[in-house]
Structure 1
């Protein structure tokens, strides 16, 4: 599996402990199998580190954007790591969850309503290396300029604008 990680430095030997414990899928090294998505995380002078992962012999949990995924993310946000695997592959909830977590925690929204908000917008996948065993099977290949151009920046701007419209409309219906 080819994977990408955007950073301001070359990361030949990634760490499992640098990421937040309360991230979507718990602590680990977060990557994407989607190069174009990785470019979206870039800021000026960013690099994309490219890796190859040998999946053989690894326990992999694959999640879809549904109620089970939502429950696991919420537990991880409360530091109850519910994903004891070498690798977790599933949808990203970061931006939407950060925006709605206060609303969810206040009791203003039910879990079903919160999940419906998390379903808004495009779905992007993340791959999380959670164990030393999996990290040992991740091999750095190269680093290259992230190459954010005006076309990509405009696409990101339009996508965010549409997301805000869709999110606002969904909130009005609740």
Structure 2
């Protein structure tokens, strides 16, 4: 049993794995994390809406799970999903793996332009902290997910999360710039 968190603007007791963007990192599915602090940092404020953190328990023992690491398989899977190619892991109930950093779009462009090799691009994608996403891809996964609670984030928690996000982003940008200089 694992505890999962989903951040958004509404309480979601029964998630729909077929809702959402098909061109997300791991394709269409219900995106969660096992890190409540990351869930708080990931969501953005929206005028007139509360930020809500939904908490779930998932019995993963009966699910077919694909776990990805930051490597070429992970990169190729995200690259294919961002281009809405057929899902090579469509027969899995749950996909677990790193969230792509904010420069993944630029990195895709750099690769296709021939400016960097795939090996150099992979080095760029390794920059930054590791945050894990856990995506429910099937009805079977949704059936084994139990809603526990939802919490409206207060202004203080939102400010703390926003500050942490900005600090993380500044650190990431510095590391990314350093990695790019190594390719010169």
Give TM-score, length-normalised by structure 2.
0.87
- The match for 2:173 is 164
TM alignment of 1:85-104, pairs within 5 A? 85-93=92-100, 95-104=102-111
1:6–1:146 contact (8 Å) kept in structure 2: no
Q: Which runs of 4+ in 1 moved over 4 A?
A: none
Q: Deviations over 1:71-116 (max 9, x none)?
A: 2222222323121300000000052313423223322222111111
- The match for 2:79 is 74
Structure 1 unaligned regions, length at least 5: none
The more displaced of 160-169 and 118-127 is 160-169
Pair 1:26 & 2:27 matched: yes
Give the Cα–Cα distance (whole angstroms) in 2 for the partners of residues 61 and 39 of structure 1.
25
Give the Cα–Cα distance (whole angstroms) in 1 for the partners of residues 100 and 44 of structure 2.
20
Give the Cα–Cα distance (whole angstroms) in 1 for the partners of residues 143 and 158 of structure 2.
34
Number of positions where the alignment pairs a residue of Structure 1 with one of Structure 2: 174
Pair 1:144 & 2:151 matched: yes
2:101–2:128 contact (8 Å) kept in structure 1: no
- The match for 1:83 is 89
TM alignment of 1:108-127, pairs within 5 A? 108-127=115-134
Give TM-score, length-normalised by structure 1.
0.92
Give the Cα–Cα distance (whole angstroms) in 1 for the partners of residues 25 and 161 of structure 2.
25
Structure 2 unaligned regions, length at least 5: none
Shift of 1:15: 1.3
Give the Cα–Cα distance (whole angstroms) in 1 for the partners of residues 152 and 106 of structure 2.
30
Give the Cα–Cα distance (whole angstroms) in 1 for the partners of residues 55 and 101 of structure 2.
22
TM alignment of 1:34-49, pairs within 5 A? 34-44=35-45, 45-49=50-54
